[in-house]
Amino acid sequence: MAEDEGPNPARVVADADVLAADLLVGGEAREALDHVRRHSWVDLVASDPLLAQTERLVTELADAELAAEHRERLAAERVAVDQPEGDHPALASAYRGEAAHLLSYDERLRSAKAGLTLQPRVSVSIRPPDAFARLFDPESLYEVVEGGEYPGPDRDPRA
């Protein structure tokens, strides 16, 4: 996608808190990310630092072996992007990956102040996973991204 076309509506970034919750808790984080996993034409975007942050969080909450396995799976499924040193991993992933959606539980990222600060630099919708899960409309999105009639999910989110 060219820069002047804006972000890709079929690209999603999940912050480390959402990636960890998907693995360890399920619920709304899993529901939101299952939308991504169900459709081969929807991409999860993540930088290496975002995966490292997720691995650290899962290690703290569970154990290192599970965290390493989770990171491997995410690395295989994601669209990899580079990240400038010092940038926020999820924001950098969204910007560098031209993602239209950033899922996060971090209220600082979702605040009006953050929105005003980010708006001139990056066009991204930052929502908690439950809002994304509720609002995700694969039929409309498919028409915009792929064109034609929505064929339904084409992957098993648990595979």
> How many Cα atoms occupy the beta-carbon half-sphere of 83 within 13 Å?
20
127 three-state secondary structure: strand
Residues in Cβ contact with 156 at an 8 Å cutoff, skipping those fewer than 6 apart: 38
Please give the pLDDT value at position 119. Answer: 63
pLDDT grade for 2, boundaries at 50, 70 and 90: very low
**Does the pTM exceed 0.85?**
yes
Class of domain 8-145: alpha beta
Instruction: Report which listed range, 1-10, 19-28, 101-110, is most confident.
Output: 19-28
In the chain, what are the domain boundaries?
8-145
Q: Look at residue 3 in the predicted model and tell me its pLDDT.
A: 44
pLDDT of residue 159: 78
**137 to 9, 108, 129, 152: CA distances (angstroms):** 11, 26, 14, 11
